[in-house]
A and B are shown apart, each in its own frame.
Chain A
Amino acid sequence: MSDHEKIMQVPVGPQHPALKEPESFMVDLRGEKIDAVRMRFGYNHRGIEKGCEQRSFTQDLYLVERICGICSYAHSTAFVQAVEEIAGLEIPRRALYIRTIVAELERIHSHLLWLGVAGHEIGFDTLLMYTWRDREQVMILLAQLTGNRVNYGLNTIGGVRRDITAEQIPSILKVVDLLEERTKYYIELAQTEETLRQRLANVGVLTREDALSLGAVGPTARASGVDRDTRRDDPYGAYGEVSFKVVTAQSCDVFGRTVVRLGELLEAYAIIRQLVKNIPDGPVLVKAPRRIPAGEAVSRYEAPRGEDVHYVRGNGTEKPERVKVRAPTLANSQAVAKMLEDGYLADLPIVIAAIDPCFSCTDRMIAVKGNGESRAMTWDEVSRYGVQFYKARGIDFSRVRLREGPAA
């Protein structure tokens, strides 16, 4: 048997080249090509479902928001929708509009983050720098609207805890306009930059049949021609009152997943404009009972990575009887082994990254002094610190004209 016919086992993970989260992929290699992949998950299992049974519904709302550091609002909203359905609460329309605006802003920051990660995984770090610079605009906007860059703490049972003021509307539209222009540039890039297309086309192929049988969701499924989107199929929030297209692609590869996410960004801008224009006046909250009646509900939510499903059962007390969460990455992880089969080992990081598995980016910067005292830096201080850090090393950013964003 010659060397290239031998099967070599390569363990990838749990500490992983493409992810900040631990997952284990045992790869059987034949030469440079992947023969089979065996996956092992669960390294990050934190017992949140059990934890929910031991806490009140309101406490759980904040706990489930911490399932994910990127689509935290997805989990919070999916959970609160289920609880509100059990309690029979009629949520004010203005609150539903605010939830939907924040949901789409979250999708924008998540997709821009992914675009940067994808660029990084294929050695196109300029794209990472560009998209993450742009993403900062939506992060600052989210912090203005909700008080936080992630884990917004905006939802409460019965509505939202903060209203969007008339003064905040122009800054939302300003960010949407800016990012739309940038996204159009990235779409042009994807259409004309030959190296990008060649690097991503026919990589990580998942046929439509496999996407369906393995239960893939979100942009991963839509890039394989599966026309499913919970926002349209099973509308929640204010999605029933806006018009938008479900973006799909037929190429079934990583390039298609890129095209779908870029298209979804444009749709998100259009959705936000409609919501901001038509947002009704009125209260943003109805009073909710402390004890949630006995009953059960299942809530579906189109998170940036795909459908997020929460099942909640109440038993008439302040604590739920059962909370079950199915995050989109678990659904998509089943398809990854299929995508990797018969591909090159060198494609493994981008193929895994292309389902956009979750990891947390929630850190705020803390300046730690030598004597153990610490204090938080303001955003202005952080950006000044960054400019000076590079200036001291001979890189001067002061001549770079930064595009104006919303006031931080």
Chain B
Amino acid sequence: MTRQNNIRNNLQRIGRLAGMGRDETIAAIRTRRQILMATAILVIGAITFQFYTGTIPLKYTGISINDFSGFWGMM
């Protein structure tokens, strides 16, 4: 957490050099954060889906689940 806090504090300090307030500093990094969040949600969603249905969403792409049978032992 200390590293995260340092980064946040440094970004706010540097943002102030160009006259940016806290909200604007957050806006600067928003897109990057949104992409990371969306990716994380997708990955978690896919794993959850797999546990519920015993399969993986990839089957809807036309790829046979048997193609991945070798991986089952690892999951």
Chain A partners chain B = no
